[in-house]
Structure 1
Amino acid sequence: MKKLKLFLFLLPLSLIAQNNDPVLLTLSGKEVKLSEFEAIYNKNNSKEAKSPQALMEYMDLFINFKLKVLEAEKEGIDTTAAFKNELMGYRKQLAQPYLSDKDANEGLMKEAYERMKWDIKASHILIRVDADAAPKDTLEAYNKISKIRKEITAGKTFEKAAKEYTEDPSGKENGGDLGYFTVFYMVYPFESAAYNTKVGGVSQPVRTKFGYHLINVTDKRPAAGTVKVAHIMIKAPADFSNEEKERAKQAINDIYTKLKAGEKFEDLAAKFSDDKASANKGGELAPFGTGRMVPEFENAAFALANNGDYSAPVQTDFGWHIIKRIEKFGIKPYDEVKNEIKNKVTRDSRAEVSKQQFVNKLKKQYTLKEYPKNKLDIEKAIDNTFFEGKWTMPEIASTMAKPLFDLEKKTYTQRDLLNFMGARQTRRPVISKTEVVNQQYNEFLEAKILELEDENLEKKYPEFRMLLQEYKDGIMLFEITDQKVWSKAVKDSTGLENFYKTINQNYLYDERANAVVYTCANQTIADNARKLILKNEKKGLSSEQVLKVINKKNAENIKAENGLFAKGENPFLNHDEWKKGLTKNIPSNNKIVFVHIKEIVPPSPKPLKEVRGLVTSEYQNYLEKEWIQNIRSKYKVTVNAEVLQKIK
């Protein structure tokens, strides 16, 4: 077994200066760079200058940490499937922010925040066309929406055009009216067109996944914010009879009268509201903003001027409501909502904008050469079964080996694209073969560029590499420590018992009295009991025998409590000095109490079962110290003192 040799050696200053990330530590030939130590050291310590002693103490802890990780590697912990899966899952999560355009994301976030400050009221006309529709169908829908816009600009009202042409069913009834909405309520292209169109104006045709839209902006106002309310509801839907609707109206008016007479809103909600989900919470609803409630309810809620104000009965399609304002929230500062906006941007369709910008940047960073003519052959390998999600690769595909593009030093062929298409096929609208091949090619190219960037993250971003290494070491440290220390201490009952024998003097009972506390009905009973005990002192009467004699005529004459008592455990044994025998009589709650101290028990070790948790913790510390001594004797450790001294 190798003996630990901890060398502190000095290197020439010129050599250190030539290396921006010199080796700080070597463990049995395995190098640890200065950057790794500094990253962990700075994370766990304040930025104030450290004394040389504090630095050396931390270095000692760091060496122990790295030796444990080295031991885990020697035992193959990092080769298990469970370890690899956990590390891969973490890496995937850690990589996400690095696989997007940070500048684009920040721009989208600030754009969203500025839009949060305004509510838009608009109507729309929809001509449906699938996102993957054939060019012919797409052009037909575009021409149709363009013709409608010409009619509107020529004088036809938007409402009339919507009722006549829109393919949104609700628009046939309400003229396309969408009410007020704000950021994140609509798909991103629609939202952008609405915010970029002047009040009274009609947008150019806007393409979304639903089809083509025309948007007529009818109002733009400062954002109403968010409001938290409670309500009392009496249901009266459209299918109620007139008589039922009248009864509902009378019921809400009666509740309103009770409210004005001083009865509590919460009590009335619990007793009368038909919204059972909120009734038992005093009618409270989750906070909501513009466009989240039916207009009648929303308008009444936002019209309440002060917290605690309540509305007159308000009718909606659901019935009648009385609404009480609990709290109203304005638009918070950007820094307070930044993370919330970031999460919404990530989940929103606008994330595709950021992704595409990022891919375009990567195309310029990496060496990419495309062979567009070779895409044409792909069309020969697919048929209509591809659009049904039932396509199988034909024999001709085996001969398709022409390059489609070179990315860095790797070539991707026609066969690679066909494999990609086969693995991802799903039922989709039928479009031309040329268009579907172009779509699939672009997605394949994008995927490979992102894969390449993902593979290079450790090289491009030192902070990514160190975070991943830190997590990897952390998993290995946990697993090896569990094996060598934590679980071993819990499972090794024999070892724990033997260890306890060496430290049981640390877990002693205090001095205790083996005693009986007698509670007597009166002074006479106490005197009789004391005489009986003293008379038979040599025989040593048990408390049961004393009770049998004294309680012969009345079972309530005397009661006894036996036990080993430490000071403070019984109020009648709290006097400073204990002596064997009987204590004085002590009046207590119209009774007489005295104690028979049979024996003074000196301090002694507690049984292991009483202190197992504390002893197990000590045993774990003991096992860890032994383990560290063992691995320090196994591996040669060399510290570059010159580099260490440069750390501030």
Structure 2
Amino acid sequence: MKKSVQLFLILFVTFTSFGQSKKDKVLFTIEGEPTYVSEFSRVYKKNLDIIDKKDQKEIEEYFDLFVEYKLKLKEAQNLNLDEKESYKKELGGYRKQLAKNYLTDNNATEQLVKEAYDRLQKEVKASHILINVSQDAAPKDTLVAYNKIMGIRKSILEGADFGEMAMSHSNDPSAKGNKNIPGNKGNLGYFSAFRMVYPFESAAFSTKVGEVSMPVRTQFGYHILKIEDVRDNAGEITVAHILLMDKKEGETKEDPEQKIKDIYTQVQAGGDFGALAKRFSEDRSSGVNNGVLPKFGRGRLRSKAFEKVAFSLNTPKEISKPFKSEFGWHIVQLVSKHPMKSYEEEKSMLERKIKNDKRATAINTSILKKINRLYTITESENLREDFYKIADVTFFSRNWKKPTDAAFLQKTLFQIKDTKVTYDEFATHLLKNRSRATAKNTDAKEFINRNYNQFKDAKLLAFYEGDLENVNDDFAAIYGEYRDGLLLFDLMETEIWEKAKTDTIGLEKFFNQNKKEYKWKKRVEAIIASCSQEDAAKKVQELLKAGKALDEIKQAVNKDKKVNVIFSPGVYEEGHRNLPKGFKLEKGVSNIFNDGKTDFTIVKVNEIIPSSHKKLSEIKGKVISDYQVYLEKEWIKSLKENYKIKINKRVYRKLKKLVK
């Protein structure tokens, strides 16, 4: 329950930072601090469609919850929970995450999303040749690299073999290989969007099959690509599976490998896959749904072994042989194949990926234009020449040090509104990034120019991000919502959740006072026999009545490599999903139950266990959850006694009308 914050804790939006109009009415006060009708109205309307309980949709009921919410917020503030370092850290992390949504340009993002979606429909098979050149190389060195890659391209167009040229000239080590790994001759295999750096990806998708691209520059240097093939993306599949987990140390359950083979034999003999998944699969989340998993695409699963087997199935209802993954033993059945998702379905996911990809540069460019219009930015006229002068012959060596002249370091690089960025900050940035510039042909001026542009852009974006509350009302409102919700979460954790877990005496007392709420239904200690054939079921029933041991029955019934019976001994509560429908809890061997398909079930009841009170150790989690609810109710009572609440009765009577 720790993270199951009640609805009003996470949904209320506070607007205390915004001014109220003169016509706004005070709805109530807590210790003299007013809450206005406009705030209640906005919150109520915002949450109305997502409130499950009908009584909470009524304004009067919702009003009570709202007052409780405000009481808790007041208590949290009085306890100075907003001064805790852990609170500040988590709030800061959320703010940074939220701000990402406001550091974007919707039009530029939309274009990139559409482009990425179109590319994801295909997979391109390409080879490449790379000629290394630093991003900060001097113009003459850049020209040398460009002429070299163009010369290689010319030779290929005149008939030279692309693969042989890659082995001879490419600076990508994988092209040549080594004594242990053969060279790939530049062949990169199939890939789709987001698998390669963006300029390379764009060249791959804009070059026709069989053609060689013009040179494309990335951070690695110049590339040329030859497109070998383009194929449709495989899309997604839905499968069902049966999972038996490996035995843990000390467990006495049956060998999972042998049992999965037995189940596989039943499936091959016509057993219903879904019924067997419900009965035997230890993946309970899918087992209750006939073993069906949510649909997935290539590269989406944690288990490559499972994914490989699943995608090897071609026709619906096709079933794999038993195989092992890191999770245990499986049998997989193909349910259906799905084409690529629609644009609208993929849009949100693609937006997130683009923001973390190099193509986000296009979005940043648009935002930076907005920032430059929004703020007054003044820049030092001589800054580039000043920094060129300090880039001496040791600049790219370990010996170079940041200048120590205080007058130099304190000079203003540029200024945003009232915030100054100093030479010292940029010099520190250069010192840090200069050590990464290891290429021999790196040019100091080019390096300084590129780094200054990146440094300035980053500073502008950071300033805008930190100023969002002042320039964007929507951001301020959402941030305020989370700020208060997180504060109340900390309060609940301190006052309720941790107390419920650590107060063992109070928990036991609560349990004893409410024992009638925690009872077992009638149970049986029994053996459930599952058979795929009626004749086998009759034989098993006869042998169970004769008191034969399970291993003896298996030997008699499971013949000719056919598994005709699987036993599941255990204790089962009345109504348990493994007990057949219509089964009565009676001692002895039951009739044969048939589900109308191919599952024949017999139950041998060895002992009937009467209904009884559960032990605290058996249901501790449930009792703790109930105890938390009880503690919260008592705590709310004390808050109402400790804080002075004054409701404007005249306004309250008109509340429905005012909200409308």
Check the 8 A contact 2:125/2:228 in 1, yes or no: yes
Match of 2:100?
A: 96
Check the 8 A contact 2:127/2:227 in 1, yes or no: yes
Match of 2:642?
A: 630
1:42 aligned residue (20, 23, 45): 45
Alpha-carbon offset, residue 344 of structure 1? 3.3
Q: Does 1:342 align with 2:351?
A: yes
Superposed, which structure 2 residues align to 1:310-389 within 5 Å?
Answer: 328-383=337-392, 387-388=396-397
2:450 aligned residue (439, 445, 449): 439
Q: Does 1:117 align with 2:117?
A: no
| Distance (Å, rounded) in 1 between the aligned partners of 2:496 and 2:311 | 61
Q: Does 1:410 align with 2:428?
A: no
Q: Summarize the Cα distance change of 1:180–1:386 in structure 2 as closer, same or farther, 3 Å threshold.
A: same
TM-score scaled by structure 1? 0.59
Alpha-carbon offset, residue 403 of structure 1? 3.1
| Distance (Å, rounded) in 1 between the aligned partners of 2:84 and 2:316 | 59
Q: Summarize the Cα distance change of 1:163–1:38 in structure 2 as closer, same or farther, 3 Å threshold.
A: same
Alpha-carbon offset, residue 163 of structure 1? 4.5
Secondary structure at the counterpart of residue 404 of structure 1: strand
Deviations 1:181-207 (A, max 9, x none): 322232211110111123333222101
User: Percent of aligned positions with the same letter in both sequences?
Assistant: 38
Deviations 1:443-491 (A, max 9, x none): 2211221122112222333332222222221232233345555556777
Match of 2:602?
A: none
Secondary structure at the counterpart of residue 412 of structure 1: strand
| Distance (Å, rounded) in 2 between the aligned partners of 1:153 and 1:493 | 81
Match of 1:128?
A: 132
Q: Which amino acid aligns with 2:634?
A: Y
Match of 1:195?
A: 205
Superposed, which structure 2 residues align to 1:64-213 within 5 Å?
Answer: 64-154=68-158, 156=160, 158-159=162-163, 161-171=165-175, 175-213=185-223
Match of 1:531?
A: none
Q: Does 1:58 align with 2:81?
A: no
TM-score scaled by structure 2? 0.58
Deviations 1:253-293 (A, max 9, x none): xxxxxx9xx999xxxxxxxxxxxxxxxxxxxxx9648xxxx
| Distance (Å, rounded) in 2 between the aligned partners of 1:384 and 1:636 | 76
Q: Summarize the Cα distance change of 1:180–1:477 in structure 2 as closer, same or farther, 3 Å threshold.
A: closer
Check the 8 A contact 2:37/2:658 in 1, yes or no: no
Deviations 1:564-589 (A, max 9, x none): xxxxxxx9xxxxxxxxxxxxxxxxxx
Q: Summarize the Cα distance change of 1:20–1:413 in structure 2 as closer, same or farther, 3 Å threshold.
A: farther
Secondary structure at the counterpart of residue 212 of structure 2: coil
Q: Summarize the Cα distance change of 1:420–1:327 in structure 2 as closer, same or farther, 3 Å threshold.
A: same
| Distance (Å, rounded) in 1 between the aligned partners of 2:134 and 2:74 | 57
Match of 1:463?
A: 474
Q: Summarize the Cα distance change of 1:47–1:71 in structure 2 as closer, same or farther, 3 Å threshold.
A: closer
Q: Which amino acid aligns with 2:643?
A: I
Check the 8 A contact 1:125/1:167 in 2, yes or no: yes
Superposed, which structure 2 residues align to 1:466-545 within 5 Å?
Answer: 466-484=477-495
Alpha-carbon offset, residue 628 of structure 1? 1.9
| Distance (Å, rounded) in 2 between the aligned partners of 1:619 and 1:226 | 47
2:402 aligned residue (393, 410, 413): 393
Alpha-carbon offset, residue 98 of structure 1? 1.6
Alpha-carbon offset, residue 217 of structure 1? 2.5
Q: Which runs of 5+ in 1 are unaligned?
A: 1-15, 231-258, 265-285, 290-297, 312-322, 511-570, 572-609
Deviations 1:81-104 (A, max 9, x none): 222112112212222222233332
Q: Summarize the Cα distance change of 1:52–1:79 in structure 2 as closer, same or farther, 3 Å threshold.
A: closer
Q: Which amino acid aligns with 1:37?
A: F
| Distance (Å, rounded) in 1 between the aligned partners of 2:318 and 2:437 | 54
Q: Summarize the Cα distance change of 1:331–1:637 in structure 2 as closer, same or farther, 3 Å threshold.
A: same
Alpha-carbon offset, residue 39 of structure 1? 4.4
Q: Which amino acid aligns with 2:129?
A: I
Deviates more, 1:155-164 or 1:443-452: 155-164
Alpha-carbon offset, residue 27 of structure 1? 4.5
| Distance (Å, rounded) in 1 between the aligned partners of 2:20 and 2:409 | 54
Q: Which amino acid aligns with 2:43?
A: I
Check the 8 A contact 2:383/2:413 in 1, yes or no: yes
What is the root-mean-square deviation of aligned Cα atoms in Å?
4.9
2:229 aligned residue (219, 228, 232): 219
Deviates more, 1:636-645 or 1:393-402: 636-645
Secondary structure at the counterpart of residue 45 of structure 1: helix
Secondary structure at the counterpart of residue 186 of structure 1: coil
Check the 8 A contact 1:27/1:637 in 2, yes or no: no
Q: Summarize the Cα distance change of 1:616–1:640 in structure 2 as closer, same or farther, 3 Å threshold.
A: closer
Check the 8 A contact 1:123/1:175 in 2, yes or no: yes
| Distance (Å, rounded) in 2 between the aligned partners of 1:435 and 1:639 | 72
Look at both structures and tell me which one has the larger radius of gyration over its CA atoms.
1
Deviations 1:194-248 (A, max 9, x none): 1112333322210112221112224334444467999xxxxxxxxxxxxxxxxxx
Deviations 1:612-644 (A, max 9, x none): 8667753542232122221135x8989966787
Q: Which amino acid aligns with 1:479?
A: D
| Distance (Å, rounded) in 2 between the aligned partners of 1:333 and 1:170 | 37
Q: Summarize the Cα distance change of 1:485–1:18 in structure 2 as closer, same or farther, 3 Å threshold.
A: closer
Q: Does 1:646 align with 2:655?
A: no
Q: Summarize the Cα distance change of 1:30–1:77 in structure 2 as closer, same or farther, 3 Å threshold.
A: same
Q: Summarize the Cα distance change of 1:378–1:361 in structure 2 as closer, same or farther, 3 Å threshold.
A: same
Q: Summarize the Cα distance change of 1:36–1:90 in structure 2 as closer, same or farther, 3 Å threshold.
A: farther
Q: Which amino acid aligns with 2:471?
A: K
Check the 8 A contact 2:469/2:476 in 1, yes or no: yes
| Distance (Å, rounded) in 1 between the aligned partners of 2:28 and 2:45 | 17
Match of 1:554?
A: none
Q: Summarize the Cα distance change of 1:157–1:36 in structure 2 as closer, same or farther, 3 Å threshold.
A: farther
Q: Which runs of 5+ in 2 are unaligned?
A: 1-18, 177-182, 241-264, 271-295, 300-307, 321-331, 518-585, 587-619
